[in-house]
Structure 1
Amino acid sequence: MTRRFTAAPAPAPTIPKIPPTQVLGRLAALQAAPTATLKQQWRELFGKEPPPWNRAYIQSRLAYRIQELAYGGLKPETVDRLVALGEQLDGGNVVLRRIRADSRPLAGTRLIREWQGVQHVVTVRINDFEFEGRPYQSLSAIARHITGTRWNGWTFFGLRARGET
């Protein structure tokens, strides 16, 4: 009879509890901590390797995590409500969920493009764009007005690289 041994799964890392009295001190320490220290805290507080993103992202997520471990996270009812709202927006389609709902710049954003030595400024509004005091429904219409030729407005104003979909 042959015995087969299987490796036991590694135990889940123990995430430490953080006393509420330590929160402010730990949040302040994040500002001055070297990146290596931030990554080590990530491993301790999340139980996994830190993402390869910038310091500001890691620092902000650590700040949230410290407060979450000290004061508790979102209530289950809140999580359920957020999931339900997400389902309403995307119909439960995971692919749609990963696509930014609105790739349009925020209202109030000013798009500046120099064309043939002249600077052109477009203001993004809630439902349209304003150029030279007039409303336009699309950036392509504004690009056509400026150049006299057909352009993809997103490409003309540098919001999308040529060839991107």
Structure 2
Amino acid sequence: MRQHWTDPAAIEAEIARIRSLPLDALRRRWRVMFGRTPPAALSKDLLGRMMACRLQEQAFGSLDRESLRFLDGLARHGGAPRRQLKPGTVLVRDYHGQRHTVTVAPDGFNWQGTTYPSLSAIARAITGTAWSGPRFFALARGNGTPPAHGPHKTWARAGRNCPATGIEQGIAAFANLLTGVTPKQ
């Protein structure tokens, strides 16, 4: 690593220079920096940001393993990597003074003698309202309390079945660069 890459002022100056490059020059610089052709869908702004990140990474170090794992999950599935529950795992939740026990099965989740396809279906059966099963059973972040009134509202977000926007494509491309993952075509 050359000496000038450890100087924050030199890095800032190089980033400013990258941002000022026209798109064709930016794409040529990308090829030199990453050793491959830049993704065609990325805008000039996103190319510049990703190159700036690479410069900072070379100077100050890379992301930690957990951050790389998170980005890999975003690139592969549109979200953080999911925790897989092994068959036989027992989940217990007390709700309105009643204890509910769910056993993970190879084909779903068993609750009160019935197999359900998801924890969310069980949470709905218990609460009578739409509710994230992983959150209800404290497997996901949240306060673990169902909504007080009416159905729980959820917001749709781009996922596996939704076309990715430009920024989502950029995030996926950047995560792929950091993790070395080549997406399936």
**Taking structure 1 as the reference length, what is the TM-score of the superposition?**
0.39
Return the structure number with greater relative CO, CA threshold 8 A, min gap 6. 2
**Taking structure 2 as the reference length, what is the TM-score of the superposition?**
0.35
Work out which of the two has the higher radius of gyration on C-alpha atoms and give 1 or 2: 1
